[in-house]
Amino acid sequence: MRDKGEYLFTSESVSEGHPDKVADRISDTVLDTFLEADPYARVACETLVTTNRIIIAGETRGPGHITPELLLHRARLAVADIGYEQEGFHWANAHVECHLHAQSAHIAQGVDAAGNKDEGAGDQGIMFGYACTETPDLMPAPLYYAHLILRRISELRRNGDVSVKGLLPDAKSQVTLRYVDGKPVGATSIVLSTQHEEGMDQAQIKAMVKPLIESSLPAGWMPADSELYVNPTGTFVIGGPDGDCGLTGRKIIVDTYGGAAPHGGGAFSGKDPTKVDRSAAYAARYVAKNVVAAGLADKCTIQVSYAIGVAKPLSVYFDLHGTAKDVDEEKLAKVVQELVNLSPRGIREHLHLNRAIYVPTSSYGHFGRTPDLEKGTFTWEKTDLVDELKRAFGR
């Protein structure tokens, strides 16, 4: 996003009950099941969900006691936790198939460490990280508030709160903010579509969610009532995988920065941390967040690139968007690589990624979340490089 003038920018979020997020949740459930048994298991899992059907496919390498039957059971539990007990998609009644098979030996030989060869990247690709000062979590504001609105509704629904009685798991939000000289100053429109029980009308649902939306935004940011669009199609009873097919990895912009930063194209869910699509994107966010948290810039984009089977990144590029505070971007790239080993193994070890920590990432974004030191989740959101970065630039 540009730093001058006045403009509008929009981002969207989707709930854990959105069909694509159901698929992401199941794929990350499969991944965590393998990592619980073997921290160095290899998983590349894809899921498709549709009317009362779940299909799991992909490649794995891990303990033999992880059977298809166990994975099917875990998939059903994941759907139950989301809250699907509907005629067209029910955790207990859906037909579930598992088509996972052994990882390609040709991929494995490039990734595995052997002799003097370090562990290589699981694929070629480019990954981006981003951070900015727009929100406390150093995330772009449109996505931050789009996520927040849906998370609040989900939490109330899961807790059985009467204020959202009748709302169901599938939902989408969209937030448009007005920027003046690069800073968000208010919302000009908000869209919220939420699945609901039969018999609820559009006006009733709008009255229900309007206070939740307003309380999620900074004071004075609520748009005019005519610019609050709730269930604009009128009725949203048929939803989830019964209303629309879902696939793993189709919400990569929701998962990252809401379109405010570049994206390399790789999805995250269902992939173990040797896959740099996931682990290097986490490392890039970690670095970018620490750069901004250290006060070196108000915005930071980092790009890293890899070749399959090669340990070292092929390139590391920084763009501080003209907001640098007496920081040279070329020097910053060198300093960061001295502080963080950006090889696949270095990233895994630095961020402690070889653990069953991925189910919580499968909805409401992989970034801008709160690290849980006890559970080991969202380690890439820590700001433990701040002091070293400040020292490196004489702060």
pLDDT at 308: 87
Which positions ≥6 away from 389 have C-beta within 8 Å? 290, 291, 294, 296, 335, 339, 395
pLDDT (tens digit per residue) in 330-343: 999 999 999 999 99
pLDDT at 310: 86
Is 3 annotated in a binding site? The answer is no
**What are the chain's domains?**
6-14+142-239 (3.30.300.10), 19-111 (3.30.300.10), 125-133+262-392 (3.30.300.10)
pLDDT (tens digit per residue) in 290-308: 999 999 999 999 999 999 8
pLDDT at 103: 77
Which conformational region is residue 207 in: left (phi greater than 0), alpha (psi within -120 to 50 degrees), or beta? alpha
Other Cβ atoms within 10 Å of 215 Cβ, number: 12
Amino acid at 242: D
Is 203 annotated in a binding site? The answer is no
pLDDT at 123: 76
Is 141 annotated in a binding site? The answer is no
pLDDT (tens digit per residue) in 192-219: 999 999 999 999 999 999 999 999 999 9
Is the pLDDT at 110 greater than 70, yes or no? no
Which positions ≥6 away from 196 have C-beta within 8 Å? 166, 167, 168, 205, 231, 236, 237
Is 381 annotated in a binding site? The answer is no
For the chain, counts of helices (H) and of strands (E): 11, 13
pLDDT band at 42 (very low <50, low <70, confident <90, very high): very high
Best CA proximity match to 134, nearest among 192, 213, 218, 214: 218
Is 242 annotated in a binding site? The answer is no
Strand partners, 179: 7, 184
Is the pLDDT at 129 greater than 70, yes or no? yes
pLDDT band at 112 (very low <50, low <70, confident <90, very high): low
Best CA proximity match to 216, nearest among 251, 165, 175: 175
Is the pLDDT at 117 greater than 60, yes or no? no
pLDDT at 124: 85
pLDDT at 266: 94
Rounded CA-CA distance 344/338 in Å is 15
Is 244 annotated in a binding site? The answer is yes
* SS3 assignment, position 318: strand
Best CA proximity match to 16, nearest among 209, 254, 268, 217: 254
Rounded CA-CA distance 285/255 in Å is 12
Best CA proximity match to 290, nearest among 364, 388, 192: 388
pLDDT at 5: 84
Is 90 annotated in a binding site? The answer is no
Mean pLDDT across the stretch 14-41?
Answer: 98
pLDDT at 121: 73
pLDDT at 311: 86
Give the DSSP letter string of 106-123: HHHHHHS-BTTBPPPBSS
Q: Roughly what angle, to the nearest 10 degrees, separates helices 19-37 and 68-82?
A: 130
Is 275 annotated in a binding site? The answer is yes
Is 289 annotated in a binding site? The answer is no
pLDDT (tens digit per residue) in 143-162: 999 999 999 999 999 999 99
Comparing 122 with 168, the larger pLDDT belongs to: 168
Amino acid at 25: R
Average pLDDT, the chain: 94
The percent of residues in the chain predicted with pLDDT above 90, rounded, is 90
pLDDT (tens digit per residue) in 66-94: 999 999 999 999 999 999 999 999 999 99
Is 59 annotated in a binding site? The answer is yes
- Strand ranges, E, within the chain: 6-14, 42-50, 53-61, 85-86, 89-90, 95-102, 125-132, 167-180, 183-196, 228-230, 246-247, 299-306, 315-319
Is 170 annotated in a binding site? The answer is yes
pLDDT band at 367 (very low <50, low <70, confident <90, very high): very high
Other Cβ atoms within 10 Å of 325 Cβ, number: 12
pLDDT at 4: 73
Inter-residue contact 173 to 16 (CB < 8 Å) = no
Six-digit token pair at 250? 């189709």
Point out the least confidently predicted range of 105-114, 177-186, 200-209, 314-323.
Answer: 105-114
Which positions ≥6 away from 10 have C-beta within 8 Å? 142, 174, 175, 176, 177, 259
Is 183 annotated in a binding site? The answer is no
Inter-residue contact 274 to 348 (CB < 8 Å) = yes
Rounded CA-CA distance 25/269 in Å is 8
pLDDT at 212: 97
Rounded CA-CA distance 84/90 in Å is 5
Per-residue burial over 221-250, b = 16 or more CB atoms within 10 Å of its CB, e = otherwise = bbbeeeebebbeeeebebbbbbbeebbbbb
